[in-house]
Amino acid sequence: MENYDILLIRVRREYEQGFINAIGQLSILGYMKRLGLTGRCFVGDGYECKRVMKEQLESGATKIVGLYACDDGYKMAKHVLSFLKQYNVTTVLGGPHVVAFDEESFRYAGCDYAIEGEGEIPLSRLLCHLLRGEGALSDIEGLRYLDETGAYHCIPQGHPVQKLDEIPFEDPNDMLNEGYDERKLIGILSGRGCPFRCGFCYEGANAKNVRFRSAENVLAEIDHIRNYNKEMQGVIFYDDTFTINNERLRTICLGLKERKLAFVCEGHVQTLYKDPELLPFMAKCGLVSMQIGLESGSRKVLDSYNKKSSPEMIREVVRMAKEAGLMMLEGNFIIGGALESRQTLAESRALAEELITIGRGMFVCKTIFFVPYHDTPITKDPAKYGMCFDKDQIEWTLSDMGNCTVSTLELSRDELVEEKFAFDRFLEEVYNREAQFMTKDELQLYYYKFQGYSHVCYRWHDRITSDDRLRRFVQNGFKYRNLFDENAVITRTFETLRYDGQGTLIAGPYRFTGHEKAFLELSTGEYSIPQLARRIGVTEQETYHIYDKMYNLCLAYQNLF
């Protein structure tokens, strides 16, 4: 087995999806290579990471291990550090959680070193010191460590890499994961930092130095990955600021269109709202899914977060995304955030209902609990935002956003939990109701653009596939959409004929009488349009109009036999 300088490990919690995300680790390894340093990376669950570390360390391949720790992954990383003690290796901890370290938490974690901030420069300098004796530990910006006397040192962060284009592209040979070169979706980080200052966000509070990679560099990396990954079909852009540099964005989108690649990204509501042509342009270039920041339906709450958006802006962005033919637009409503009250939650529910109706078939939202990320405006002064943190609940939390750790001036922690469950039930009711009203055009978007992506828009996919009428229409309604044969027979999409007390036919959420009722009753796959016209006693033209209506409502379709 070939020896190398450092093994970078990212332990994935068991509830995380199987997508292999090692963008940061591979960027660090690429930067290190410019200094003649080598490394390997592995991403997996606890059992997989233990197997790989045991295999690599017992073979003597390396003597240094670096671990990534986000808030909910910190506990897992701590267990890994305990496991590594038996191998007498040097351990380095990185990731967003390190910003919260004081001397006590550093000693408790049990690592040899910790790095705050972006890792390329400090980790490379640390390895040069450990392996070559170059420089002093006290000169490595962002480093936490204990000296030979046991004294704790915390060096302030320095400047991260400024020219991101200079970081070499990922090398698949650095990955120990099998199948890494066969991913259908690949992840790209096209920029770092955030110019916005949302009150709850770690990135905006701690990564103020906004840097973008050039469009040419981003597209060159995609080509580089495509050269070794022939299975690649799409790109996920992970940076929060992907849409805010218009000229660069458009160049990247055109490049993706030229390469016939689908893509997914984050979108900033204010940016999208101010440029109505942007979403249609991106959709034509291959955008299939986007996430936007919803957070709340209350203008007061959005202003307190410094979101620079409003419920009116959000409504319009959802409308534009639907009109542009976007496959999916998603966002989260925060429960228990700044100034939260029963009134603000009612405003969030009202907005959610509007957005689901506007974005029927493509808009997805869910609720999450507020997360007290370290070193943000809210965590520094929660009282200013009408909030109080529960330290016990923070300790007992399994995953970010999954447990309520706050109370507000009006609502206790337990009341916020019940409010979230009530909100979730409300969302289910709205989705169930709106699915019944899906039209032919909305289902057609599902039929064509969701092929291979149906797992993404789960809220609508589950309802369509569980509803006999909608499922039957999807299976049969688009086979002859562009070719109408007057001899084709008409079949309704529902089996049971149901009537109210006055004889009105009930079909899904709709009610029919007269000729429309007779049309559906006779749409058994036996009669063509001319035959139906004679049976009903109206002209063929009128029957065609009835068919068009029923077809658009997903209640009938034509079949050649």
Q: Give the model confidence (pLDDT) of 445-499 as tens digits.
A: 766 554 444 445 778 888 888 999 999 998 888 876 555 677 899 999 999 999 9
Of 196, 202, 238, nearest to 218 by C-alpha is: 238
Q: Which domain holds residue 498?
A: 467-559
3-state DSSP of 497-543 = CEECCCCCEEECCEEECHHHHHHHHHCEEEEEHHHHHHHHCCCHHHH
Residue 173 belongs to a domain: no
Residue 165 belongs to a domain: no
User: Are residue 202 and residue 238 in the same domain, yes or no?
Assistant: yes
> What distance lies between CA 392 and its chain's CA centroid?
29
Q: Name residues of the chain where pLDDT drops below 50.
A: 450-455
Burial of 258 (0-12, 13-18, 19+ CB in 10 A): exposed
User: Are residue 347 and residue 493 in the same domain, yes or no?
Assistant: no
Residue 523 belongs to a domain: yes
Of 31, 198, 21, nearest to 128 by C-alpha is: 31
Predicted pLDDT at 20 = 66
Instruction: Say if residues 181 and 229 touch (Cβ distance below 8 Å).
Output: yes
Predicted pLDDT at 479 = 73
Distance CA 223, CA 254 (A): 14
User: Are residue 304 and residue 196 in the same domain, yes or no?
Assistant: yes
32 — phi, psi (to 5°)?
A: -60, -35
Number of domains in the chain: 3
User: Are residue 304 and residue 439 in the same domain, yes or no?
Assistant: yes
Quote the pTM value: 0.92
Strand partners, 499: 505
Question: Which DSSP string do the residues of 452-491 spell out, in sequence order?
Answer: TTTTTTHHHHHHHHH-HHHHHHHHHTTTTTT---TT-EEE
Residue 323 parent element (H or E): helix 311-323
User: Are residue 190 and residue 113 in the same domain, yes or no?
Assistant: no
CATH number, domain with residue 54: 3.40.50.280
Predicted pLDDT at 72 = 62
Look up residue 259 and give its two tokens: 């390469």
Of 299, 296, 285, nearest to 243 by C-alpha is: 285
Instruction: Say if residues 236 and 263 touch (Cβ distance below 8 Å).
Output: yes
Distance CA 180, CA 189 (A): 17
